[in-house]
Amino acid sequence: MLTILFDGIAYGMLLFVLACGLSVTMGLMNFINLSHGVFSMAGGYITAFLINRWGVPFLLCLPLAFLFSAALGMLLERTLYRRLYARSHLDQVLFTIGIVFMSVAAVDYVIGSQQQTVKLPDMLKGRIDILGGSIGLYRVFIIALCGCLAVTIQTLLVKTRFGSQLRAAVDDPRVARGMGINVNTVFAITFAVGSGLAGLGGALGTDILGMDPTFPIKFMIYFLIVVTVGGTSGIMGAFFASLILGIADVGGKYYVPQIGAFIIYALMVVVLIIRPQGLFTRSRGK
Amino acid sequence: MSMTPSAHQTMLDQARWRWSESLFWLLSLAVLFVFPSKALLFSQIAIMGLFALSLDLILGYGGIVSLGHAAFFGLGAYAAGLMAKHGLGDPLLGLAVAACVAAIIGWLTSFLLLRGSDLTRLMVTLGIALMLFELANRMASITGGADGLQGMMVGPVLGLFSFDLFGKTAYLYALSVLFVLFLLARKIVHSTFGLSLRAVKGNALRAGAIGISASSRLVAIYTLSAAFAGIAGALSAQTTQLVSLDVLDFHRSADVMLVLVIGGVGWLYGGIIGAIMFTLMQDWLAGITPQYWEFWIGLVLVCLVLVGHDRIKIAIQSIGTRLSGKGGAA
């Protein structure tokens, strides 16, 4: 029981790191991006590559995965995504699905369709007993790391100058420009950090979620659920949505395996019926 | 208050049957006799065209971005497939039942789409399709699960024309159903209901101010669209005698959106022309790179958005008017 709860929390935390970048670009900037998983996949693959080919230590791979995905995100934002902010939602959906299809096929072609594996360092293997439940050390590590990240991101968004600039740019880009905020740069940095976090999540999740070329499609729905259920109130909504989703998914698959993933889709539809704007909303400035 | 003659005339002109349209349908019949060996491919195109047409009703005329339209295609396919498996093999009866099943589910779920933003709608449609996929996957005793539904016995159309191996009957059957439903959709979008729907899509608030209820229109068009998609699914099940989980897959929802966008959103030929281009492209690409053709589909999507997907529609429409102009003069 406790083990399942703990696994669910670890899973939820992982989803949060994967999706929190998306909750800013999609929830706040209102840019429908279905290709977020591509950046996670990039992070996961670069980690697997670094560990298996060059023997880079796992803990060093995590920041590298972040940087790689962030750079990729920055590049694509500057060249492609930027043009789509002002386009219709249909255009955004089509464009980002196109990116997903291309990356899935390209990774399949270049690397192959087999599952990637990551060898964890010995210190993260094994289990410990807490309150009568047996818990994997790696999951404790994930919870601790992701918890720290959540606090850091929230502080960055709420307390720092950059956070205020971002919130201003999201609420009203024109006025923000008028106040001397370089909106394009703010969006580019946000997008890069969001992609980087997705990459970090992909690196962390390779062991738990699995990593193969279809990752962006398989987990797209999870990211989208986190964002829509979480609502547009910033990352705290996404945080709680991830936890609920993680616990419901792990618990559902353990207790009622015969209905499988049905439970989370049903949960999402129910939440959206009751609260179409998500669990946490804030009044927009417009 | 009656419409001014000029406005009235414009509306009538839009609804007028053009000479190039007759040519289009005659050509689509003629290809069967020119390339009889490709009949199976043609029937796929007709079915895909009908499916895209159904999506156009909600996307192009209702303004709802749906990522789960395969839900209704799959429902129709399973409805028709199960009937054929259990001895009710009459194709037209299968179509009718598939349409009813899809319409009922469409009607029930349409209420979920009335609230919330584009993103919420996207998620709800996607969520419903995924739920149906999971259901079909889990209820393997009824649907055959991952192995697909086997042992369908489809009877002859109208009791006269039985399905042959080469797909000739299949194509004529699919094309006639497509043509009839196309005429129906054409009638509907040019009726006052269709016009009010366009008003709602243009600006729901203003449409409400002149007494058009957005909710009831969206519910109606979503139900109709679901029924059309269900019929497309049933056609697919009957002509291929096969239903697998693939009919509910996310890929199908994404593909049909691509089909519609290639041909052009918001005009009824868009779906059909898109289906022709998409299926021929798929056939061609799958011949070259069977495994990685998704990549090219993705590339087409990305390029279409960057270039602007209305260009193709405008090009085809201008050819259409030019043809009609010549026809009128001759």
ipTM of this complex prediction, to 2 decimal places:
0.74
Q: Domain of A200?
A: 2-274
A101 within domain boundaries:
yes
Separation of alpha carbons A38 and A45, rounded Å: 10
Residue among A106, A227, A266 whose CB faces B131 most closely: A266
Q: How far apart are CA A48 and CA A40, in angstroms?
A: 12
User: Is the residue at A116 inside a domain?
Assistant: yes
Is A94 in Cβ contact with B301 (below 8 Å)? yes
CA dihedral sign of residues A164, A165, A171, A175: positive
Helix (H, G, I), strand (E, B) or coil at A245: helix
B10-13 long-range contacts (CB < 8 A, ≥24 apart) are B11/B190, B11/B195
More confident of the two residues B18 and A189: A189
The residues spanned by each domain of chain B are: 36-248
Q: In total, how many domains does chain A have?
A: 1
Q: Residue holding tokens 């709420």?
A: A158
DSSP letters spanning B253-279 = HHHHHHHHHHH-TTSHHHHHHHHHHHH
Distance to chain B for A87, nearest Cα, Å:
9
pLDDT at residue B227 in the model: 92
- Is residue A21, in this structure, part of any structural domain at all? yes
Question: Would you state the pLDDT for residue B197?
Answer: 80
DSSP state of B4: P
Interface touch A228/B128, C-beta < 8 Å: no
Q: How many Cβ atoms from other residues are within 10 Å of residue B270's Cβ?
A: 28
Per-residue pLDDT of chain B in tens (330 residues, 90 and over written 9): 455 567 677 767 777 777 777 787 888 777 777 777 777 888 888 899 999 999 988 888 888 888 888 889 999 988 888 888 887 778 888 888 889 999 999 898 888 777 767 777 888 888 888 888 888 887 777 777 677 777 777 777 776 677 776 777 888 888 888 889 988 988 888 888 888 888 877 777 787 788 777 788 888 889 999 999 999 998 888 888 888 888 888 888 888 888 888 888 888 888 888 888 888 888 887 777 767 777 888 888 888 887 776 666 677 777 767 766 544 333
Helices (H), A160-212: 161-171, 173-178, 183-209
In A23-57, which ranges are continuous DSSP H helix?
Answer: 36-54
What is the average pLDDT score of chain A? 80
- Element spanning A80, H or E: none
Q: For chain B, which residues lie within 8 Å of any Cβ of chain A, measuring from their own Cβ? A: 59, 65, 67, 112, 115-120, 122-124, 126-128, 130-131, 134-135, 137-138, 250, 254, 257-258, 261, 265, 291-295, 297-302, 304-306, 309
- Dihedral angle over CA of A251, A257, A261, A262, nearest 10: -100
A157-184 as b/e: b if 16+ CB within 10 A: beeeeebebbbbbbeebeebeeeebebe
Residue at token pair 């395996």: A257
Does residue A72 form part of some domain?
Answer: yes
Are B116 and A277 an interchain contact pair (Cβ–Cβ within 8 Å)?
yes
A104: contact with B, CB 8 A cutoff: yes
Report the C-alpha gap between A193 and A152 in whole angstroms: 13
Cβ-based contacts of B250 with chain A (< 8 Å): 217
A111 contact B CB<8A = no
- Lowest-confidence region among A14-28, A242-256, A272-286, B140-154: A272-286
Measure the CA–CA gap between B218 and B65, rounded to whole angstroms.
Answer: 12
Specify the 3-state DSSP secondary structure of A5.
helix
User: Span A96-115, mean pLDDT?
Assistant: 82
B186 burial type by CB count under 10 A (0-12 exposed, 13-18 middle, 19+ buried): middle
Nearest to B138 among A102, A258, A276 (CB): A258
Q: Give the C-alpha separation, A140 to A137, whole Å.
A: 5
- Looking at chain A, the whole-number percentage of residues with pLDDT higher than 70 is 92
Distance CA A222, CA A183 (A): 29
Q: Which residues of B touch A30 (CB under 8 A)?
A: 119
Q: Which residue did the predictor score with more confidence, B158 or A200?
A: A200
Q: Which residues of B touch A273 (CB under 8 A)?
A: 112
Q: In b/e form, how buried is each residue of B10-35, taking b as 16+ CB within 10 angstroms?
A: eeeeeeeebbbbeeeeeebeebbeee
Phi then psi for residue B296, to 5 deg, are -70, -35
Degrees, nearest 5: CA angle B89-B90-B93: 115
Question: What are the residues whose beta carbons fall under 8 Å from the beta carbon of B97, sequence distance 6 or more?
Answer: B79, B80, B83, B234
pLDDT tier at A233, thresholds 50, 70, 90: low
Tell me what the mean pLDDT of segment A253-268 comes to. Answer: 76
Q: Measured between alpha carbons, how far is A52 from A63 in angstroms, rounded to an integer? A: 17
Q: Does the residue A286 lie in any domain?
A: no
Q: What is the DSSP letter of B60?
A: I
Angle between helices A262-274 and A235-255 (to 10 degrees): 140
CATH number for the domain spanning A78: value is: 1.10.3470
Distance from CA of A182 to the nearest CA of B (A): 25
Percentage, residues of chain A above pLDDT 90: 0
Contact between chains at A272 and B135 (C-beta distance less than 8 A): no
Question: A240 pLDDT exceeds 60?
Answer: yes
Global pTM value: 0.81
Burial of B209 (0-12, 13-18, 19+ CB in 10 A): exposed
Residues B232, B181: contact at Cβ < 8 Å?
no
Task: Name the pLDDT band for A168 (thresholds 50, 70, 90).
Answer: confident
Q: Which residues pair with B78 in a beta bridge?
A: none
Strand partners, B149: B243
The angle, 0 to 180 degrees and rounded to 10, between the axes of the packed helices A58-79 and A183-209 is 140
Tokens for A205, please give them: 């999740």
List chain A residues with CB under 8 Å of B109: none
pLDDT reading at A120 higher than 80? no
Query: Is A281 among the domain residues?
Result: no
- pLDDT class for A131, splitting at 50, 70, 90? low
